[in-house]
């Protein structure tokens, strides 16, 4: 479970993120919606370890991870992606994900461990 409590980030006199709290269970999907400059990317950077929070905490499966470098958080299973339109020009989506996991974990990735099957695999 990802748990975020009262997460804030201040840049000088600008309060970019102010008291965000969220609980997200394994398999849950949520979205951050807001206009440009509303703190969405900053929030994601705080959660993933790319930025350090001014206040608040981030826990992953009960382990407090704020202050951890992003590569250490990635090894615990939390990875931030970026909106790049042409990162991979060939190969499948599964191959692209496996490449990222291999880079984060330093080992081969077993998709059977993570890809939902049966009823959970349906896309509507």
pLDDT digits (tens, 9 = 90+) for 82-120: 776 666 677 777 777 777 777 666 666 666 665 656 665
- The rounded Cα 64 to chain-centroid distance in angstroms is 15
The pLDDT assigned to 94 comes to 76
Check pLDDT > 70 for residue 123. no
Catalogue all structural domains in the chain, each as residue range(s) with its CATH number. Answer: 2-78 (3.40.50.300), 84-124 (no CATH)
Q: In degrees, to the nearest 5, what angle opens at C-alpha 45 toward C-alphas 35 and 2? A: 100
Check pLDDT > 80 for residue 24. yes
Give the tens place of pLDDT for each residue, 55-81. 999 999 999 998 888 888 888 888 887
Check pLDDT > 90 for residue 5. yes
Give CA torsion, residues 68, 74, 79, 85, to 10 deg.
110
Check pLDDT > 50 for residue 23. yes
Contact (Cβ atoms closer than 8 angstroms) between residue 60 and residue 73 = yes
- Residue 124 pLDDT level (bands cut at 50, 70, 90): very low
Q: What is the pTM of this model?
A: 0.66
What is the average per-residue pLDDT within 13-29? 91
């Amino acid at each position: 479970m990802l748990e975020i409590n009262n997460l804030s980030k201040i840049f000088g006199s600008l309060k970019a993120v102010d008291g965000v709290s969220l609980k997200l269970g394994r398999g849950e999907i949520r979205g951050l919606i807001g206009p440009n400059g509303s703190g969405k990317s900053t929030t994601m950077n705080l959660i993933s370890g790319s930025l350090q929070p001014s206040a608040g905490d981030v826990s992953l499966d009960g382990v407090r991870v704020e202050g951890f470098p992003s590569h250490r958080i990635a090894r615990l299973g939390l990875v931030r992606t970026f909106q790049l339109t042409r990162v991979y020009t060939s190969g499948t989506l599964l191959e692209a994900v496996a490449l990222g996991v291999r880079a984060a974990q330093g080992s081969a990735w077993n998709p059977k461990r993570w890809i939902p099957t049966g009823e959970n695999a349906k896309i509507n």
